[in-house]
A and B are shown apart, each in its own frame.
Chain A
């Protein structure tokens, strides 16, 4: 299986190299959203603070969002939707490799590429601007890495499963868009959850949205601390990962029987 992953990742990177311009565009997209959010909060915070967040806290928060969002984001619903509706799933089903493995390999290739560039950007900015530097805390970084892996796995299964809805509806990507829109607020992409109205933040915590992004970001910046809070956060991530894996398995086994194998 390692050889297969190596071959899939190699091909993904080879294709990327053909489209250097698109890499830059994706990167800009990944940077722009948190940069705009940071700009707004920067202006609002002024010389004081909002909900305990001063300018430097916002800067660290959104740099962490920038990096961790790129490490955990999954585009699979778009691919799945196309594979299913246009029949590109056909030859994938005839190969002795579950299409999910191909998708995971693509994700690893994509994340390694974009996140490494963003990490370099962060290091360069941090060299000039102390506000975005993180305290040296290897233990915290290790826990963050675990939380990022869990979040990436969960977001992968969310995206893949939503894409599988294309077996039943032509609007699968619209559902994913809706989910992305909701997660803009509930996952902490445009504001730390601590700044949301308590009811909204509560919903984010009860559902999977906090586990997607806000929790690992807060871990990295130090907003979540104390063994208790960390264990509870990781447990929530594990729980929701499990839920989405079950959802994926059900959607896949039912959907594949319903598949119309479009086209020749």
Chain B
């Protein structure tokens, strides 16, 4: 199966004006501007197959959004090659743009003063969507996103969550096979985030779209992405399944215990400490952290030695893993 997105040795360098603080700095910058190269993306290579949901992971300024924008044809790469939906984004023109959708969490295309339906009608005209298809798709999207009540309200009166849902509708009316979502859940409450995630999963299942997204919310990534691209300081640190990343980075596992036993023979923290590091203890619940490879053996010993009502082995929280990955680098454990 041919890839739907190919990035080869992709780089983007911005020239940023630097100036010293204060009036003197401002004057110097006026007469003798100095520039500094900022390497936003360096030598990034990957391929994405049709139907994948791929998440870009990385701290602010890591280069995620810059990469996404180069794939969508907004930014001109300094070097390297991009192919998306069968086109070079820079020469593809309208045929390319009909095959993609771009949703920006902090920029909206909805016309602020009009009901969202007016933007939908505008996009119907811009993308030449036939009348019948338009109605059918709108009905489907409105049902999936539960938007029936808001179509007639001016956009400025909608909640942030409703606006983002309407952004998605506006971006999907032409049914593009390739979706670029930049922080689609930015600033939304938990319910709205959840609704957007459910929608994206459902939409992909129905229409087989490929989704590339960036997000700061790990729940977005764990719920949606089958694959993550980890970017830091412009470099691609990791490309693969999230579970594999966790296994590689997290040297520990957590054993969560529910202890049994009456008041007479209560397990003490000291007794637990001999099995591993006690992360929390509040009878009857306790969490131990042990080395990854020791987890099965330690579990067996715990079951044999203590009155255990329940026991489960978990990976550490994903946020912690990601933090560790960025702090230490991914390759260290190989």
B273 is an interface residue with CB less than 8 A from chain A: no
B77 (CB) vs chain A CBs: closest residue: A257
A247 is an interface residue with CB less than 8 A from chain B: no
Which residues of the partner chain B approach A90 to less than 8 Å between Cβ atoms? Answer: 69, 74, 102, 104, 107
**Contact yes or no, A264 B186, CB < 8 A:** yes
Q: Which of A4, A15, A258, A264 is in CB contact (< 8 Å) with B104?
A: A264
**Contact yes or no, A96 B14, CB < 8 A:** no
B65 is an interface residue with CB less than 8 A from chain A: yes
**Contact yes or no, A256 B114, CB < 8 A:** no
Known: A94-B74, A94-B102. A18 touches B126 (CB 8 A): no
CA–CA, A14 and B118, complex, Å? 9
Quick one: CB contact mask for A224-264 with B, threshold 8 Å, 1 for yes? 00000000000000000000000000000000111111011
Interface residues of B in 60-102 (CB under 8 A from A): 65-66, 69, 72-76, 93-95, 97-98, 100-102
B286 is an interface residue with CB less than 8 A from chain A: no
Which residues of the partner chain B approach A182 to less than 8 Å between Cβ atoms? Answer: none
B316 is an interface residue with CB less than 8 A from chain A: no
A8 is an interface residue with CB less than 8 A from chain B: yes
B217 is an interface residue with CB less than 8 A from chain A: no
CA–CA, A259 and B14, complex, Å? 10
Which residues of the partner chain B approach A263 to less than 8 Å between Cβ atoms? Answer: 104, 106-107
CA–CA, A6 and B95, complex, Å? 22
A91 is an interface residue with CB less than 8 A from chain B: yes
B260 is an interface residue with CB less than 8 A from chain A: no
* Majority secondary structure of chain A interface residues (helix, strand, loop or mixed): helix
**Contact yes or no, A7 B121, CB < 8 A:** yes
A89 (CB) vs chain B CBs: closest residue: B74
**Contact yes or no, B107 A264, CB < 8 A:** yes
B105 is an interface residue with CB less than 8 A from chain A: yes
A86 (CB) vs chain B CBs: closest residue: B107
CA–CA, A56 and B102, complex, Å? 58
Count class of interface residues, chain B: 35 or more
A87 is an interface residue with CB less than 8 A from chain B: yes
A3 is an interface residue with CB less than 8 A from chain B: yes
B256 is an interface residue with CB less than 8 A from chain A: no
**Contact yes or no, B113 A15, CB < 8 A:** yes
User: How many residue pairs between the two chains, A and B, have CB atoms under 8 Å in the bound complex?
Assistant: 86
A91 (CB) vs chain B CBs: closest residue: B109
Known: A14-B114, A90-B104, A90-B107. A95 touches B75 (CB 8 A): no
Interface residues of B in 95-140 (CB under 8 A from A): 95, 97-98, 100-102, 104-109, 111, 113-114, 118-119, 121-128
Known: A3-B125, A91-B107, A256-B76. A15 touches B114 (CB 8 A): yes
B182 is an interface residue with CB less than 8 A from chain A: yes
A88 is an interface residue with CB less than 8 A from chain B: yes
Between A19, A94, A256, A261, the greatest number of chain B beta carbons within 10 A of the residue's beta carbon is seen for A94
Residues of B within 8 A of A (CB): 14, 65-66, 69, 72-76, 93-95, 97-98, 100-102, 104-109, 111, 113-114, 118-119, 121-128, 154, 180, 182-183, 186
30 residue pairs of the A-B complex, CB under 8 angstroms, read: A4-B126, A7-B125, A11-B111, A11-B118, A11-B119, A11-B122, A14-B113, A15-B114, A18-B154, A87-B107, A90-B104, A91-B102, A91-B104, A91-B108, A91-B109, A95-B127, A96-B93, A96-B94, A96-B97, A96-B126, A96-B127, A97-B94, A97-B126, A258-B76, A259-B74, A259-B76, A260-B14, A261-B69, A264-B65, A264-B105
Residues of A within 8 A of B (CB): 3-4, 6-8, 11, 14-15, 18-19, 87-88, 90-91, 93-97, 256-261, 263-264
10 closest A-B pairs by CB? A96-B94, A7-B125, A94-B102, A264-B106, A96-B97, A257-B76, A91-B109, A18-B113, A261-B74, A4-B125
